[in-house]
Structure 1
C-alpha cells in the first residue's frame, strides 16, 4: 500500500513561486547552507520550472517561477494547478538568520556609487575647482616660476577652470568628456619642480578640507592627482 506521505516528506510541504527562483535558491543556500535536491529547468533552459530544496532537517520546500504555472509536460501532466498559502510561526533564531542573509544579499546587489556620485556631481566639483584655481593663481611658490607666470597670462582662468572641472568629472566616473591636452603635453614647458608640486597639492588639500569633503573621497581624489605627477613634475 502506498504511503500517504512519501519518504522524506512532511504532511505539509510549502511551495513558493518566485519571479527569479534561482535567486531564491541562492538566498536559502547562503542563509541555511541548503543544497538543491532537484531542479527542473524551464523549457527555455533559463528559468526554474520546479525545484526542491531542504532549508534544514525540519522539512522541504519547492520552488517554481510564475511563467511556468500550469505548464504541461510532454506526458500531459500538470505541474501546478493552484497555489496554497501556509501561515506559520518562524522561530526568532531562524528569522534573524533570514534577515541577516537578506541584508547581506541586498548590500551585495546594490551597485557601488562612483566617486563622482559621492562628490555630488559636476556642480560641487566645479565649485571646488573654482576655489582651487583661485588659490593657485596667488600661490607665491608657483608664481616664482617664470614659465608658470607666463602661462597664466596667456591662458584665461575661466578656460583653465572649465578644463580642470571636465577632467575631474571624467576621472571620477562622471559623464563629462575632457577635451584638453594631455598632462605631459600641457606641462612639459613649465619645468615644474617637486616643491611647486607640493605647493599645489597643499592648496588642493586645503580646499577639500574647507568644503568638508570626507576623508575617503579626499584620498581617492589625491590618488588621481598623484597618478599625473610623473607627467607633470620635472626631476631636479
Structure 2
C-alpha cells in the first residue's frame, strides 16, 4: 500500500486572514479557492521588492581547487515563500560546454553567505567546467514580513472579490445612459498599493538584511501591525463586508 503524499503550500498569508479582512465565512470563501489566489498574489507582490536573475555567470577561478564563487548582487531573496533564505532559493549550474545548456549539471552547495552573495560549493569544480551560472533573486528593499503578509492578503482578497463575487462590468448602459459601477475591489487595491509604498520606502542594507533574514526574531521585538484585522482597526477603518442584500 502506498501512502498518500500531501504537498503543503508555503504562503505569506493564510485563507483565514483573508476571510477576516473581507468579513466572509469559510462557506463563502473556502480554503482551496483562497489558496489559489494567495499563490497568484505572492508571485505578484515579490516583484515590487526583489529582482529575479537567470543564468548569471558567477565570478571565481575554475582551477580544480577553488570552490568559492560570488554573484554581482548581495541580499539573496526568498523565492519559495517560506520566509527563509535556503538552498531552495537558488540553483547553481556547472557547464562543461558554455554554449550548450544540455551540458550543464546542478551543483551542490555546502554553505553560503546571502548577505554577501557568496557561495561555497561542496567540491571544487574540475577544469573541464567552462563556466558556472546561477538562478536567484535579490532584495532591493528592506521588507518587513508583517507588511508582506498584509500586502499578500490584500492582493489575494482583491482577486477573490473581483473574480468570485463581483463580476459586474465597470460601465454599462441603461437605455441611452451609461452608468459607471462602483467596484468593491478598488479599495482593496488602493490599500495594497499603500502597503507596498511602505515596504518599498527603505532600500535594503546590510544591517536590515541581517535582522530580517539571519537574526531570529524574538517574541516582542520588531513588532509589526499584527493581523489584517488589527491593521484595519488601527487605521480606524471598517473592514470590507460582503453585501448580502
TM-score (norm 2): 0.20
TM-score (norm 1): 0.21
Greater share of strand residues, 1 or 2?
2
Greater share of helix residues, 1 or 2?
1
Work out which of the two has the higher radius of gyration on C-alpha atoms and give 1 or 2: 1
Q: Which has the higher contact order (CA 8 A, sep 6+)?
A: 2
